[in-house]
Amino acid sequence: MSAEPHRRLQELRDLLHFHNHRYYVLDDPQISDAEYDRLLRELIVLESQHPELVTPDSPSQRVGGAPLEAFAPAAHTVPMLSLDNALSEEEFLAFDERTRRNLGAADDIDYMCEPKLDGLAVELVYERGVLVQGSTRGDGYVGEDVTLNIKTIKSIPLKLLHLHPQLLQVRGEVILGHREFEQLNRQRENQGEPLFANPRNAAAGSLRQLDPAVTATRPLNMFCYGVGGNQGLAFKSQAELLSLLGQMGLRVNPYIRTVRGARAVLAYHQEMAGRRESLPYDIDGIVVKVNEVALQEQLGAKTKSPRWAIAFKFPARQEVTQILDITVQVGRTGALTPVAVMAPVSVGGVLVSRATLHNQDEIDRKDIRIGDWVVIQRAGDVIPEVVTVVASRRSGVEKPFVLPEQCPVCGSHTVRPEGEAARRCINLACPAQIKERIYHFAGKRAMDIDGLGEKLVDQLVEKGLVKDVADLYFLTLEQLAALERMADKSAQNILEAIEASRRRSLDRLLFALGIRFVGEHVARVLIDAFHSLEELGNASRDALMQVHEIGPQVAESVSDFFTNEENRRIIARLRQGGVEMQPAQQRSSDQLQGLSFVFTGALTAFTREEAERLVVSLGGRATSSVSAKTSYVVAGEAAGSKLDKARQLGVHILTEEEFKEMVGL
Ligand code: D41
C-alpha cells in the first residue's frame, strides 16, 4: 500500500486541477460539485495521513480558482476564508462536540443559523459609508475587481444609511433568482446563445461581464452575512452584526435565526430543507456560526476556514452520469414521454437511473443523444431531469433520438397537434391509458356509473375483463361476483348502474369518451350541431370549425379521434352493448334538415343562442362564421362584417321577420 497513496495523490491533484480550470476559468464543468467535493475531500484526508506528500501546488493549498485575466486583481486585506462542510447530522454533531470541547463549554452553544445561498461570494468595501470597491472572492486572498458590475446591482447601496464607519468590508453572496434565471435562459435561447446550466453559473457569468451594461440587464441580488476589515463598527455577536448590516441598508436574508444547542440546529436544518423547493432562489444547505464574537475569537481559525462556523449541506441534487438508452413511456393521458435510462448514480442519497426528457422539443433544445454524459438533477420528490449535456465529453458515437410515430404500447399511430409539445396516442383501447379512460368514462359528470370506483376498475383491467370502455357493457354477473371483495349484491348493483348508464344523453357519452379538449360544454355544442356520433365522426375539420365556439384545436382533436379505426370500432361496440345513441334533444321536426344558418347583428324576438337552438331543434345547423356553404345569414340590427361577407359570397340573406316566417313563427 506504501507506493499507492503517492500515485493516488498525484492522480487527485491532476484531476482537481483539471476540473478547477473547467469550472472557474471556462465556466463549463464536467463533473458535479458533489463529485468535485468528494475528490477534494479524498485528497485532504489522504494528505493528512501523509503530510510528507503534500506539494505546494496541491489544490488543498488553496480553495477557489485562479482569477480570470480580464479583471484587475483585487486583494482582500483580510482573507475571505471558506467554510468546512458537514454532509450529515453526524458530521454536524461532531462539529458541535468539537466546538464545545474547544470552549470548555458544558452547556448548549448559541448558534446563528443562516440559509447557505448558492451564489458567488463577493466583498464590498465601504469607506466612510461610500461603496468604493466590489470584488469576487477568487482564491480568498485575491479576487477580481468587479466594482462597476457590482454597482449595477440594485439591492447594493452605493452609500450606507445611518452608520458610516471609517472602513467596512462587507461579505455576502450574489445570487440570481429562479424566475430571473429562467427568463434569462429563455432570452438566450431566442437569441441562439448557449444556456446557463444553473442560477449560480448565471450569476457568476453575469457578474464577470466585461461590459457593465450587460450586467445591468441581469437582475442580480445580494444577501450579506459577514465583515472582513472593519474600523468603526462594534458588535458582540453575529446576530448583532446582521442587524447592523440591515440597518445600514444592506440586504440580509430573512430566514436567519439564532438558536440554542445542536438539537435546535438540526430542527432548523430540516425546516430549511423543507422550505428549499419553495424559495425563489437556490440554497444548498445552512451555515451555522457560533453567535458570540468573544467565543469566535476564542475558537480562532485554521489556515482556510474558521473553527466557529460550518456549512451544513443538504444532500446534493445534481450529479453527472451517462445516458445508456432512451425509452418512451405512454402516460395515462396518452402523452408519449421520452425517458433517459442512465448509469445508476446516487443523487442526494437516492439511487437514480431514469430521468424524464419531457418531449422532443426539449431533447432538441438540449441536444441530448444516447451515450451522452449529462448533468441530472432531482428537485424534491419530482422525477429527475437532465439539466444539460456535458458537450466536452462527447466522443462522436452518440446517437440522436427521435420520438417514434407509433405508440410503443399499442402500436397505434400517434398525433402531435399543432402548437403542442407532446406527441399523443389517442387510441381508446391503449393499455397504457385504459384505467384512466375508464375512471373518466364512469365519472359522475360522464356516464355516472355508480360504484365503479378506482379499485374495481383496477381489478377489471388487471383481470383482463375490460380492455376498453365498451367491454363494460358486456360484463356478466358471474364475472363481477368472482372479483375480490365483491358480494353478489354489490355485483348486482354494479350491473344495474351500468344498465342505467346506457341511457345517458349523447353529449355525456361524447364527453365520457375523453377526447382531448372536449369538455362538457364543448360536447354539448358538438352534439347540438351534429346530432349524432356518426355525423360528428364524418364531419371534416372545416365543417367542425364552422360551428360556433369550435376552434382549430378542438376540430383537429375530434377529427383525429374519429380517424382512428380502433376508436370507431369501440363506438360500434358501445352501440352493440346497448348504449343508446339517440340525440339527447329530440328534434321537433326535420324542417331545416341540411340547412345551415349564421346569425348576425341584434335580434329582437330572441337571443342569438335561442335562435341557434331553434335551428338545431328543427334539424338545421347553426354556425358562427359565414362560408360559401352557409345556407342563410339572418341579419338583425347593426349587422356588420358577416353580412358583408354573405353579400360577397352570394349567400341568401334573411331579415329576422323572414326567418320567423320560415320557421313558422
Ligand atoms: O450563504 C452563504 N453562502 C454563506 C457563505 C453564509 N451565509 N455565510 C458565510 N460565512 C462565511 C464566514 C463564516 C467565513 C464569514 C459564507 C462564507 N463564509 C463563504 N462563502 C464562500 C466562502 C465562504
Pocket test for ligand 1, best of 63, 84, 99, 173 (most atoms within 8 A of CB): 173
Residue nearest atom 23 in ligand 1 by C-alpha distance? 82
List the single range of 63-72, 197-206, 640-649 with lowest mean pLDDT: 63-72
pLDDT of residue 67: 40
350 pairs with which residues across the strands? 347
Dump the DSSP string for 178-230: HHHHHHHHHHHHHTTPPPPSSHHHHHHHHHT-SSHHHHHTS--EEEEEEEEEE
pLDDT of residue 62: 63
**In this model, does residue 68 exceed pLDDT 70?**
no
pLDDT of residue 246: 95
pLDDT of residue 65: 42
DSSP for residue 22: I
- Taking residues 261-284, report their average pLDDT: 94
Residue 39: phi and psi, rounded to 5, are -60, -45
Give the C-alpha distances (Å, rounded to integers) separating 17 from 10, 50, 57, 633: 11, 20, 9, 79
Pocket test for ligand 1, best of 63, 83, 227, 269 (most atoms within 8 A of CB): 83
pLDDT of residue 63: 44
Number of Cβ atoms within 10 Å of the Cβ of 16:
18
The verdict on whether 642 is a catalytic residue reads no
CA atoms within 13 A on the CB side of 264: 13
pLDDT of residue 427: 92
Between the CA of 17 and the centroid of ligand 1 the distance, in Å, is 23
Catalytic residue among 116, 313, 366, 660: 116
Give the C-alpha distances (Å, rounded to integers) separating 68 from 17, 140, 143, 180: 15, 14, 9, 25
449-467: pLDDT as tens digits: 999 988 899 899 989 999 9
C-alpha cell at 444: 359522475
pLDDT of residue 419: 78
Q: Which domains does the chain have, with CATH numbers?
A: 3-63 (1.10.287.610), 85-313 (3.30.470.30), 318-400 (2.40.50.140), 431-501 (1.10.150.20), 506-576 (1.10.150.20), 596-662 (3.40.50.10190)
Between the CA of 83 and the centroid of ligand 1 the distance, in Å, is 7
**Residue-averaged pLDDT of the chain:** 90
Per-residue confidence band for 566, with pLDDT thresholds at 50, 70 and 90 = very high
356-399: pLDDT as tens digits: 998 999 999 899 999 999 999 876 555 788 988 998 899 999 99
Residue nearest atom 20 in ligand 1 by C-alpha distance? 121
Between the CA of 106 and the centroid of ligand 1 the distance, in Å, is 27
Binding site membership of 309 for ligand 1 (Cβ less than 6 Å): yes
pLDDT of residue 2: 45
Binding site membership of 612 for ligand 1 (Cβ less than 6 Å): no
**Cβ–Cβ < 8 Å for 372, 389:** yes
Spatial distance between the Cα atoms of 22 and 30, rounded to a whole number of angstroms: 7
Query: Please, which residues have CB within 8 angstroms of residue 657's CB and are 6 or more apart in sequence?
Result: none
421-458: pLDDT as tens digits: 889 999 988 988 998 899 999 998 899 999 998 889 98
Spatial distance between the Cα atoms of 87 and 74, rounded to a whole number of angstroms: 32
290-320: pLDDT as tens digits: 999 999 999 999 988 999 999 999 977 788 9
Residue nearest atom 9 in ligand 1 by C-alpha distance? 225
Spatial distance between the Cα atoms of 42 and 9, rounded to a whole number of angstroms: 9
pTM: 0.51
- CA nearest 276: which of 133, 87, 451, 118? 118
**Four-point Cα dihedral 628, 633, 637, 640, nearest 10:** -10
Nearest atom within ligand 1 for CA of residue 116: 1
